[in-house]
Amino acid sequence: MNATFLVPIDDESRQIEVLERLLADDPRLRSVNTVRAYRRDILAFQAWWTVSGRTVISKSAVEAYAAHLGAEGKAPASINRSLASIRWYVRKIMDAVYEDSTIDPRVREEMIRQGTRAATVEDLKNNRALKGRHVPAREVFKLLDACERDSSLIGVRDGAMIALGWQAGLRRSELAGLRMGDVAQEGDGYTLRIMGKGEKPREVYAYDGAAGALADWLSVRGDADASEPVFCRILKGGHLRPGVPLTGEAMQGVLDRRCSEANVAPLTWHDLRRTLAGDLLSDGADVSTVQQVLGHSSPATTTRYDRRDRSVRQAALKRRKTPYTRRTLQDVA
């Protein structure tokens, strides 16, 4: 691969052509969502880079771009995601430099030096308050009650999605991507085969009310091909579109509408996921188990999901006994 794209490319179509080839040639990028995020972040960096007047990728250029994103009000987590994309991009450029025999050795040495330093730009430390919240059970009961009062197919579908989000902590994309062939009834519950973030498969389980809500939805949804989405679109008048999955925006719209009906503070599907992490820890599950349930690659991520308030920490410390007896102070010399 020629390394001419080490400098800004004025031709936007050429930018996209080079980037698409790099993304397609990396076997580690299997997730559609990851590829989409990398593409978006790198093209945004390229656009900034082109108008910045800089001639090569360097550590100072990447740091300046991070500062630019911060000045635009981007959250540290968003900036760090962009930095991860850019570091990947820089490493791909270094591969091209090594393979391009037409580059003058002295120029190659300088490119490698600059690129190596650019790839070492570290993530920002996120000192902002954690996003999201812990959702009390009473609020979920209100949401499910709102769905139950809706006697339409949409009410049955929404109730099943919320119940699964609450009990199994599924990501919004995992709920939308769940196929009929991924669901298997086992005894009084269901096993769900989930394709998670990074194309990592895992099994989750639906019991109790979540199993009942899912059973109700499957019974009214009717027979379907194994490749069809479990939670499909429903048109006005109750007409099912069995082969059309819900979009992420539509799924958030479901929660927004049910929160409004139930007089519950706004929440996201990820709030239900965070809540499951905290509740499982409160119930005595170890971090490793919670990590496996949620499909996290690292237990550190699982720990960051905990949104329980300080009363949980206070209660934990109150249970720790210290063998000390108060003194009678007037007897102290």
Catalytic annotation, residues: 171, 197, 270, 273, 296, 305
Assigned token pair, 259: 């929160």
Is 3 in a helix, a strand, or coil?
coil
d(C-alpha 45, C-alpha 274), whole Å: 31
Q: Give the closest residue to 5 by CA, choosing from 130, 111, 81.
A: 111
d(C-alpha 282, C-alpha 274), whole Å: 13
- State the maximum Cα–Cα separation within the chain, in Å, rounded to a whole number: 89
Assigned token pair, 301: 């991520």
Q: Give the closest residue to 264 by CA, choosing from 166, 144, 153.
A: 144
Q: What is the CA radius of gyration of the chain?
A: 26
Q: CB–CB of 238/153 below 8 Å? A: yes
- Phi, psi for residue 6 in degrees, rounded to 5: -70, -20
Q: What is the 3-state secondary structure (H, E, C) of 121-186?
A: CCCCCCCCCCCCCCCCHHHHHHHHHHHHHCCCHHHHHHHHHHHHHHHHCCCHHHHHHCEHHHEEEE
